[in-house]
């Protein structure tokens, strides 16, 4: 197991290097100039030339990249051109907010999505199943910003049950987590349902019923635990995406997470901030994927990593 983890982490290094190269080149070919963003609307050519020189933006591209890489290897992501703050600090400051939101959304998705999936799989074709099917269609189809706004208008402006936006206590996280998780809830419900239907129709379940096991044991112990692999896949993928910042949800709910940091960095052409953020998010993504793989082994003893 440990050898597996070590191997996966080592393999991640070339991946991350590739990510850095691609991001570096993309930023280089994209139009827009960080120095023009630093000086604002009114400027003069001398100041711009001086700043370019100081930031070494006129160096050849490989030199710039080597310089940046040198910092990364030493654990230094540099300072933002725009705010002059250390980038790693900025990322670490925002990551907890993103983690909380992603965690809450996943929790909602896991509890609601799996429950709906299990319940509907017990009555395929029944009214409950069809109702849930319709609801999950809507959940998958509605864009997150639309769902987010409706939630704000209904629960914050109209009913006054919850705050419209911002970060604070538990009440603040409910609406954004619902908006963010709505797609996952729906998707997970459908995946769970079909996985459950597969398993419920299998010989193993028939045997379990034949030996007199109660419905609860059949569905919970035998069927669900055997339907877990696709569920973990969906959970892992979605969690990875959520952890890399949910730009739309964070924007609508004024949630101070990584997604908005990345967008701001991009709109201001804050090169080191963009690179630092992408690197950071790639590391998070690699780790979540690794975790998902480890969970596979937990869920299915046939999957072994040695």
Q: How far is the C-alpha of 1 from the C-alpha of 109, rounded, in Å?
A: 29
Contact with other proteins (CB under 8 A) among 104, 167, 186, 189: 167
Question: Based on CB atoms, which residue is closest to other proteins, 113 or 139?
Answer: 139
In 3D space, the residue among 244, 149, 137, 150 whose CA is nearest the CA of residue 183 turns out to be: 137
* Residue 262 contacts residue 247 (beta carbons within 8 Å): yes
Q: How far is the C-alpha of 18 from the C-alpha of 231, rounded, in Å?
A: 30
What would the two tokens of residue 199 be? 């398993």
Question: Based on CB atoms, which residue is closest to other proteins, 151 or 199?
Answer: 151
Question: Which stretch, 18-26, 33-41, 213-221, 227-235, contacts other proteins (CB under 8 A)?
Answer: 33-41
Binding to other proteins by residue 84, rule CB under 8 A?
Answer: yes
Binding to other proteins by residue 262, rule CB under 8 A?
Answer: no
Task: Name the minimum Å distance from CB 115 to other proteins.
Answer: 28
Q: How far is the C-alpha of 121 from the C-alpha of 188, rounded, in Å?
A: 13
Binding to other proteins by residue 169, rule CB under 8 A?
Answer: no
**Measured CA angle at 257 (ends 233, 282), to 5 deg:** 50
* Residue 223 contacts residue 196 (beta carbons within 8 Å): yes
Q: How far is the C-alpha of 166 from the C-alpha of 228, rounded, in Å?
A: 35
Question: Which stretch, 83-91, 108-116, 193-201, 297-305, contacts other proteins (CB under 8 A)?
Answer: 83-91
How many residues make contact with other proteins (CB under 8 A)?
59
Residue 179, SS3? helix
Task: Name the minimum Å distance from CB 273 to other proteins.
Answer: 12
Binding to other proteins by residue 141, rule CB under 8 A?
Answer: no
Q: Which residues contact 10 (CB under 8 A, 6 or more apart)?
A: none
Residues 2-31 that bind other proteins (CB under 8 A): 30-31
Enumerate binding residues for other proteins (CB under 8 A).
30-33, 35-48, 50-51, 54, 82-85, 90, 93-94, 145-146, 149-150, 152-154, 156-158, 160, 163-167, 247-248, 251-254, 256-257, 260-261, 263-264, 267-269
């Amino acid at each position: 197991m440990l050898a597996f983890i070590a191997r996966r982490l080592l393999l991640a290094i070339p991946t991350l290097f590739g990510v850095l190269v691609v991001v570096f080149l993309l930023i280089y070919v994209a139009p827009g100039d960080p120095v023009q963003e630093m000086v604002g609307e009114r400027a003069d050519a001398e100041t711009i030339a001086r700043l370019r020189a100081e930031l070494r933006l006129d160096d050849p591209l490989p030199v710039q990249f080597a310089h940046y890489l040198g910092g990364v290897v030493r654990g230094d992501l540099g300072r933002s051109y725009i705010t002059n703050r250390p980038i790693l600090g900025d990322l670490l400051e925002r990551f907890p907010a993103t983690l909380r939101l992603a965690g809450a959304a996943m929790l909602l998705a896991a509890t609601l999505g799996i429950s709906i999936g299990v319940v509907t799989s017990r009555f395929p074709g029944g009214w409950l199943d069809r109702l849930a099917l319709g609801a999950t269609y809507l959940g998958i189809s509605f864009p997150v910003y639309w769902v987010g706004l409706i939630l704000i208008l209904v629960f914050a402006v109209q009913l006054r049950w919850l705050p419209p936006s911002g970060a604070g206590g538990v009440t603040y996280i409910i609406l954004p987590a619902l908006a963010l998780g709505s797609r996952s809830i729906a998707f997970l419900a459908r995946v769970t349902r079909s996985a459950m239907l597969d398993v419920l129709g299998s010989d193993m379940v028939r045997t379990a019923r034949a030996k007199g096991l109660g419905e609860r044991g059949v569905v919970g112990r035998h069927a669900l635990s055997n339907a877990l692999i696709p569920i973990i896949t969906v959970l892992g993928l979605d969690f990875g995406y959520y952890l890399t910042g949910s730009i739309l949800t964070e924007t609508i709910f004024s949630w101070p997470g990584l997604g908005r940091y990345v967008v701001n960095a991009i709109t201001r052409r804050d090169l080191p901030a963009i690179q630092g953020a992408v690197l950071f998010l790639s590391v998070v993504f690699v780790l979540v994927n690794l975790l998902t793989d480890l969970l596979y082994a937990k869920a299915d003893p046939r999957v072994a990593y040695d």
